[in-house]
Amino acid sequence: MTATLLDETHDPSARSWVESANAADTEFPLQNLPFGVFSRRGSNEPGCIGVAIGTSVLDLPACHAAGLFAGACVAEGGACRDVSLNALMALGPTHWRALRRRLSELLRAGHPDEGRHHAMVGPHLVPMAEVEMRVPAQVGDYTDFYASLDHATNVGRMMRPDNPLLPNYKWVPIGYHGRASSLVISGTPVCRPRGQMRPEGAETPIVGPSRRLDYEVEVGAFVGPGNRLGHPIPLADADRHVFGLCLVNDWSARDVQAWEYQPLGPFLAKNFATSVSPWVVTIDALAPFRVPPVARPEGDPAPLAYLDGEDHQAWGATDIQVEVHLSTARMRAAGTEAARLSRARFRDMYWTIPQLIAHHTMGGCNLRPGDLLASGTVSGPEPSMRGCLLELSWRGQHPVDLPGGERRAFLEDGDEVVLRAWCEREGATRIGFGECRGRVVAEP
Amino acid sequence: MTATLLDETHDPSARSWVESANAADTEFPLQNLPFGVFSRRGSNEPGCIGVAIGTSVLDLPACHAAGLFAGACVAEGGACRDVSLNALMALGPTHWRALRRRLSELLRAGHPDEGRHHAMVGPHLVPMAEVEMRVPAQVGDYTDFYASLDHATNVGRMMRPDNPLLPNYKWVPIGYHGRASSLVISGTPVCRPRGQMRPEGAETPIVGPSRRLDYEVEVGAFVGPGNRLGHPIPLADADRHVFGLCLVNDWSARDVQAWEYQPLGPFLAKNFATSVSPWVVTIDALAPFRVPPVARPEGDPAPLAYLDGEDHQAWGATDIQVEVHLSTARMRAAGTEAARLSRARFRDMYWTIPQLIAHHTMGGCNLRPGDLLASGTVSGPEPSMRGCLLELSWRGQHPVDLPGGERRAFLEDGDEVVLRAWCEREGATRIGFGECRGRVVAEP
């Protein structure tokens, strides 16, 4: 696939006349072109669709109004003029690619029409510093998975030292439905939730603010066209139903979770807030970074037929580096940089995004454009790769040391968590996801 | 509350000039006035809001256009002209009551303006036989609870005979997020889902159509105005956030559920379809049937403070009779009436709807207008009150006998499940919920 999907939009030698897109450390070079929804800072406008390029945001409805997309199929759909990405997501890969090619052409340095492009497109670039971002889609349903074997094993080991992994894990991509209403955009403060919990050793529960507030670093996938009820998406078609990826912080109140989760799963422990990053890196932009799924450990069963296929074996996974950074109020006051808590590779996940799509729909469940699937905590085999404090501090037993002498078993008020991710490899241009940021504030 | 909330719309002596609304066996007398969304059968119109009266549906946007709601607050909001009930639900109790009073007045026999009302309203009555109904609201999030102690105890006993009830049950109103995309209106065929399951005694799972397909009879609550993220709804305010109730069939694939549900709860076992009844019986129509919550068994803990209150103790529950009927293809071919499988009382639930609302939001989770909360299976203490086949057949061990000699451990293709419910008591007019109907069809 990577061979067939790579085109001139991935050409690593291409540069943009938007100078900031050529900086060595940019997350948004010409080869990325992620989509988001923005409004001018301080305005009360409904959001409009933008594309990140260097340190600017390209105003898509303005480009559309200027006739710059004439001929690209998307122009007819009005999808660019929507207040969310849902209509664009619904159009499907042919339209997405036509629009990507056109955007790449309009922004490319050295194009025969560069002068005209620059003159016509330039006025529709808005500095990132002047915009605020919105949740990029109206999410009808949000699903959260549990696709990291390392995460599931670590968490299982804390609960059941002799039998860490449940017998279904290597057969079923475990997932559950999350809360769509409390999805918030990166930067939104996260209120420490109250909840019911039972202190260790106590007979009866208490009610109060969670004392074991945690983050989870995850990769999110926004659904494209989706499927009708009763019509599963086969694994081989799954890529056509993924518009792109973002970062997700699945905030979790561990004390609430431990008390409430049996027998129907997490509920209030997770539904008080879930943060998403504003830029959706498209499946097309990620084409150069598709890789075979990680080899299953010796002795593990092969995936069942509906979760397996030749193409999937060749490029079912995506190689993304995922990091978590933390700063405390004291660190910020002292001018100390945020500390990196973990770095993991998304390709180490036991289940890939196409497998999550195929599994989600196998019984006929319908996915709608803009639905969000999150991967579950991205952890890896090494301790430095653990994607939440529950794992890093081993349920609070070994608090994490921070610069300046502070320690954290779980999050304190004022702590700010920043998730970052990027893709890089020899022969391709490095692309980034931007950040997913959230600061914990005391309950009101 | 019942005292303060009862008004002329509940007057049991009032009759309607719509003759069918005065029939002894009607579910939709003048005192009910449930809301739904309908379209003319066979038309491709988007739905419009209607109110059931006898065997007719009153076309609300037509009444609005005719100026019949002038003065009722709702008229200004355009809520009556929407294609779903969401906007009306968002308005809150003052508006709901004003509209109910006006509808009651317009439809009442013996009103001083009856002649004029009849002449102006009559043309906007559509026979029920000529309409098809839609899911009444765009459901942003759907939550399913587990509020029947009897159901939880029965299911627990099958899994853990010595320890049927988990230690959190009597403290936490257990719930989980369900799938909103696959909510379907009563009458929609339900496809038997494929799934992954592990046959008893087998080492490895298989994939195939579920062999243990089940229904669950539940009561659903549609959310009214709802709350902002981070702002819990106190128990005492919960009623103001419930627009009304309906019936829900939470179809469940028990074999899939048994294999997948640990540790994050049901997923594919439930998300292939959930049926809802078309008529939303308003919280105001239910006022005469509010009762104290059922007494907790001796020795049970009192509800925690956020789930308790004087008003709640006085009228927190609602007395609804809930029934399940089943017909098989063979029964229908033989002209045999559907068999009643269970009858239970909603007031027997361990947790009330106000408690579900207060718990759902206690950590700050936001509810939005049109969100749906379902109660969980409505079962009671007697075997005849068990609200799903899993309980009735005790996990398939004791199949249920049907007229004509058939037996059912779980649902077969062609089986049709019909849920019904009604409220009655001395001194009030009996009101019904209509039905929630669904027939199982083979996977395509």
- What tens digit of pLDDT does each residue of B172-214 get? 999 999 999 999 999 999 999 999 999 999 999 999 999 999 9
Query: Touching check for A366 and chain B: CB below 8 Å?
Result: yes
Note the pLDDT of residue A75. Answer: 53
Query: Touching check for B95 and chain A: CB below 8 Å?
Result: no
Q: First vs last Cα of chain B: how many Å apart?
A: 51
**Placement of tokens 């496809």 in the chain:** B191
If you average pLDDT over residues A24-44, what whole number do you get? Answer: 95
Contact yes or no for B127/B56 (Cβ under 8 A): yes
Note the pLDDT of residue B161. Answer: 85
pLDDT per position as a tens digit, B50-82: 999 999 999 999 999 999 987 665 655 578 888
Closest Cα in chain A, distance from residue B197 (Å): 9
Contact yes or no for B371/B142 (Cβ under 8 A): yes
Point out the catalytic residue in the list B151, B241, B325, B359: B151
- Give the three-state DSSP class for B67: coil
- Give the three-state DSSP class for A244: strand
Point out the catalytic residue in the list A64, A117, A151, A360: A151
* DSSP 8-class letter at B262: T
pLDDT per position as a tens digit, B410-425: 999 999 999 999 999 9
Whole-number Å distance between alpha carbons of B44 and B128: 17
Query: Touching check for B182 and chain A: CB below 8 Å?
Result: yes
Query: Taking CA A327 as the corner, what is the angle to CA A326 and CA A328, rounded to the nearest 5 degrees?
Result: 125
Whole-number Å distance between alpha carbons of A248 and A435: 10
Statement: residue B226 has pLDDT above 70: yes
Contact yes or no for A145/A177 (Cβ under 8 A): no
pLDDT per position as a tens digit, B80-106: 888 999 999 999 999 999 999 999 999
**Could you confirm whether B117 is annotated as catalytic?**
no
- Give the three-state DSSP class for A2: helix
**Mean of per-residue pLDDT scores for chain A:** 95
Burial (0-12, 13-18, 19+ Cβ within 10 Å), A24 = exposed
At A314, which helix (H) or strand (E)? helix A310-315
- Quick check: A259 and B193 CB within 8 A? no
| Structure confidence at residue A1 as a pLDDT band (50, 70, 90) | very low
Contact yes or no for A63/A70 (Cβ under 8 A): no
Contact yes or no for A339/A325 (Cβ under 8 A): yes
The phi, psi pair for A21, rounded to 5°, reads -80, -10
* DSSP 8-class letter at B186: T
Statement: residue B120 has pLDDT above 50: yes
For B57, the token pair is 């549906």
Note the pLDDT of residue A73. Answer: 58
- Give the three-state DSSP class for A223: strand
Query: Touching check for B193 and chain A: CB below 8 Å?
Result: yes
Closest Cα in chain B, distance from residue A304 (Å): 8
Contact yes or no for B287/B253 (Cβ under 8 A): no
Is it true that the peptide bond before B173 is cis, omega within 30 degrees of 0?
A: no
Name residues whose C-beta falls within 8 Å of residue A426's C-beta, 6 or more positions apart in sequence: none
- Give the three-state DSSP class for B277: coil
Query: Touching check for A359 and chain B: CB below 8 Å?
Result: yes
Contact yes or no for A441/A413 (Cβ under 8 A): yes
Residue A13, CA distances (Å) to A108, A289, A428, B88 in order: 11, 17, 9, 56
Note the pLDDT of residue B280. Answer: 98
* DSSP 8-class letter at A137: S
Nearest alpha-carbon partner for A420 in A326, A339, A321: A321
Contact yes or no for B190/B439 (Cβ under 8 A): yes
What DSSP assignment string belongs to A315-336?
Answer: H-EE--EEEEEEE-HHHHHTTP
Whole-number Å distance between alpha carbons of A278 and A47: 12
- Give the three-state DSSP class for A312: helix
Whole-number Å distance between alpha carbons of B50 and B39: 9
Whole-number Å distance between alpha carbons of A74 and B341: 54
Statement: residue A45 has pLDDT above 90: no
Q: Give the residue from chain A lying closest to B371, CA to CA.
A: A181
List the beta bridge partners of residue B206.
B197
Whole-number Å distance between alpha carbons of B216 and B214: 7
Nearest alpha-carbon partner for A273 in A196, A215, A220, A223: A215
Q: Give the residue from chain A lying closest to B267, CA to CA.
A: A176
Burial (0-12, 13-18, 19+ Cβ within 10 Å), A357 = buried
* Segment among A327-331, B18-22, B262-266 with least mean pLDDT: B262-266
Would you put residue B7 in left (φ > 0), alpha (ψ -120 to 50) or beta? beta
| Structure confidence at residue A424 as a pLDDT band (50, 70, 90) | very high
Whole-number Å distance between alpha carbons of B217 and B343: 10
| Structure confidence at residue A44 as a pLDDT band (50, 70, 90) | confident
Statement: residue A76 has pLDDT above 70: no
- Quick check: A230 and B191 CB within 8 A? yes
Identify the residue among A138, A177, A272, A359 best suited for mutation to test binding to B, counting B beta carbons within 10 A and taking the highest.
Answer: A177
Query: Touching check for A234 and chain B: CB below 8 Å?
Result: no
Statement: residue B244 has pLDDT above 90: yes
pLDDT per position as a tens digit, A246-283: 999 999 999 999 999 999 999 999 999 999 999 999 99
If you average pLDDT over residues A178-206, what whole number do you get? Answer: 97
User: In terms of DSSP bridges, do strands B274-276 and B183-185 run parallel, antiparallel, or are they unpaired?
Assistant: parallel
**Mean of per-residue pLDDT scores for chain B:** 95
Closest Cα in chain A, distance from residue B195 (Å): 6
pLDDT per position as a tens digit, A274-324: 999 999 999 999 999 999 999 999 999 999 999 999 999 999 999 999 999
* CA dihedral of residues B23, B25, B30, B32 (deg, nearest 10): -170
Whole-number Å distance between alpha carbons of B425 and B101: 22
Q: What percent of chain A has pLDDT over 70?
A: 98
Angle between helices B114-121 and B93-107 (to 10 degrees): 100
Interface of A with B in 263-302 (CB under 8 A): 263-268, 271-273, 301
Would you put residue A78 in left (φ > 0), alpha (ψ -120 to 50) or beta? left
Whole-number Å distance between alpha carbons of A46 and A38: 8
Q: First vs last Cα of chain A: how many Å apart?
A: 51
Q: What percent of chain A has pLDDT over 90?
A: 92
| Structure confidence at residue B1 as a pLDDT band (50, 70, 90) | very low
| Structure confidence at residue A74 as a pLDDT band (50, 70, 90) | low
List the beta bridge partners of residue B223.
B242
Query: Touching check for B259 and chain A: CB below 8 Å?
Result: yes
